[in-house]
Amino acid sequence: MKVTLLGAGSWGTAMAAQAARHLQEGDVCLWSRNSQQLEEIKNTGENSAYLPGVALPKSLKLEASFEHAIERLSPADLLVIATPMSGLSETIANVLRLAKHPLNIVWLCKGLEPVTTLLPHQVVEREHKLHSHGLFHSYGALSGPSFAQEVGNGMPCALTVASKSSALCDIVQNAFHHGNMRIYASDDLIGVELGGAIKNVLAIAAGIGDGLDLGLNARAAVLTRGLAEMMRLVKAAGGRPETCMGLTGVGDLILTATGDLSRNRRVGLALAAGKSLPDVLGGLGHVAEGVLCASAVSSLADRLKVEMPITAMMCDVLSGKLAPKEAVKKLMGRDPKVET
């Protein structure tokens, strides 16, 4: 089988390396719109801008032509969209305009579309209606607790592919379930995608708590009550709350809220240190999805009448309405209630 990955950031590069280690030479293609970046990867054998120190398989094919990256795929192959959430709509629209036959499509991004509060699969369905030319494409999300640097280095990792198509799940497992990576299958797209979005917001909250030296008790409280918020919203949105107890919920939450490689946690730490959000984001060099989707998660919760106090406070901190210490005081000052 052939695999094309669109987007040569850290996660796209890491997953391209994972597939290329086990498929035949030239079967895995990594596309980037930045031809200079591809030339550097070709010359040095690594993506120094996004995944420094990781030696990429020589069998990995590099492609600067978007058209060629899509046209190389047959109906039995796999297309992986590895752009941030902000690039999903444009990328999937361009793919569907070019597609001459049905494609198997999976995306790696986590978050909600800011203005519409749509989940990734809902964005894809919207673009599918506009640009698919009557073709039916199989699609799904690949998510779970994973740092690109560790995956790039071949360290153990477990992910979940979520799709209504069991055939697509099989294709994704064939592409990536090798070596130190395990791929589990699910049909709960809503639960998997919402878990991946909400955990990023909660990781910022956990980072703020750690940055303010509130202690391990406070971190445990944030993660536990944050998980309760996640489960409430998933249920109200039509997903299965029990999905939140798996890799894409509590698994990803623990990793992102406690791991030093987490960009969202680093945002929280920096905000607690008194840095402004623009300065924090400018120093990251990569996208922190929790910053981009916090307001959308809160808006979705309001629309579905779901109480999410930690998420709401994070929106106020990120918008500059509350300082981190004030947000903590407000959360701790809430009236007592029954645990649900």
Number of H-type helices and E-type strands within the chain: 15, 8
Q: How does DSSP assign 190-217, residue by residue?
A: HHHHHHHHHHHHHHHHHHHHHHTT--HH
| Tokens coding 262 | 């987490």
Q: For residue 237, give the nearest of 93, 122, 109 by alpha carbon.
A: 122
CB contact set of 129 (below 8 Å; sequence gap of 6+):
none
Distances (CA, A) of 159 to 145, 162, 176, 186, 257: 7, 10, 10, 11, 17
Q: For residue 208, give the nearest of 165, 272, 282, 283 by alpha carbon.
A: 272
Q: Is 328 exposed, middle or buried (0-12, 13-18, 19+ CB in 10 A)?
A: buried
* Identified catalytic residue from 199, 275, 329, 337: 199
Contact 290, 252 (CB under 8 A): no
Beta sheet of 61-63, edge-to-edge order: 61-63, 28-31, 3-6, 78-81, 104-107, 138-143, 157-162, 181-186
Supply angle C-alpha 264, 209, 239, rounded to 5.
55
Cα gap 324→136, rounded to integer Å = 47
Is 199 designated active site? yes
Q: How does DSSP assign 123-190, residue by residue?
A: HHHHHHHHHSTT---EEEEEESS--HHHHHTT--EEEEEE-S-HHHHHHHHHHH-STTEEEEEES-HH
Supply angle C-alpha 218, 222, 224, rounded to 5.
115
Which residues does the annotation mark as catalytic? Answer: 199
